[in-house]
Every structure is written in C-alpha cells, then in structure tokens.
Amino acid sequence: MQDQNSQNEENKHDDMCEIYHPHEDSIERAKKHILADDEYSDLSEFFKIFGNPTRLKIISLLSYEDLCVCDICEALGLNQNAVSNQLRILRAHNIVKFEKEGKQARYSLTDLHVEMIFKMGLEHLNE
C-alpha cells in the first residue's frame, strides 16, 4: 500500500507543464473560440438532461422508433407517472415531441441531433 501511495505522489503532477510558459499565439487563437457565458450555461443545462438513466433509456428507445407512453412504460418496466415525468422534462428541453393519436400520446425525438448526441456518447464509451 505504501508503494502505491509513493507512486501516486510521484505521478501527482505528471499532467501539468513542468515549466510555466504560455504561448501567446495559441492563446489568441483559442480565445477566438470562447463562447458567451450564457451559451455555456445553456449548453450545460442541455447536457444535464442526458444525466438521468431513465431519460437516456427513453431517448434510446425513441432513437429507433416513435412510441406511445404505454409502450415506453412496458418496455422499461416503469409506471406511467415515472415515464410521464421524464417525458415532461425532455419535452420542456425540446428533446422529444408528441402527437395525440386518439387517446394516446405518441412520442418521437425532436430531430436527428438528439439521436446523434446519444449514439456518439455511446460510441465514445464503447471505444
């Protein structure tokens, strides 16, 4: 255990520059790509939506096929209140949309971007 601690201590700063020497040209190029603070806040809120396993399961299902709430409940083994609460959040953030078909609500992803974000995240994890 002591060897592990001493090794961790030795490697503690491996991810840092050994000398502090900023590169002005790189800094100037990088600064051109900084967004406004409110854009980072909006983006952060958007990605928080993907931070809930139930919402991700719903997105996963809807990336293959439009489904009514009943189908989502059965596929996930959850009650309608639990699914409806998550769908409400997804709808509020423009991730999903629904259409009424008689007495049923059929959900779909709002656009291909949502599916791409989900699938790219999954692909990244599986590398």
What pLDDT does 108 receive?
98
Q: How many other C-beta atoms lie within 10 A of the C-beta of residue 54?
A: 15
Architecture of domain 36-125: Orthogonal Bundle (1.10)
What HEC string does the chain produce?
CHHHHHHHHHCCCCCCCCCCCCCHHHHHHHHCCCCCHHHHHHHHHHHHHHHCHHHHHHHHHHCCCCEEHHHHHHHHCCCHHHHHHHHHHHHHCCCEEEEEECCEEEEEECCHHHHHHHHHHHHHHCC
Q: What torsion do the CA atoms of 117, 119, 125, 127 make, to the nearest 10 degrees?
A: -120
Phi-psi category of residue 16: left, alpha or beta, with phi > 0 → left and psi -120 to 50 → alpha? beta
What pLDDT does 14 receive?
83
Tell me the mean pLDDT per 10 residues along the chain, length 127.
60 84 95 96 94 97 97 98 97 96 95 95 95
- Of 105, 118, 108, the residue nearest 57 (C-alpha): 118
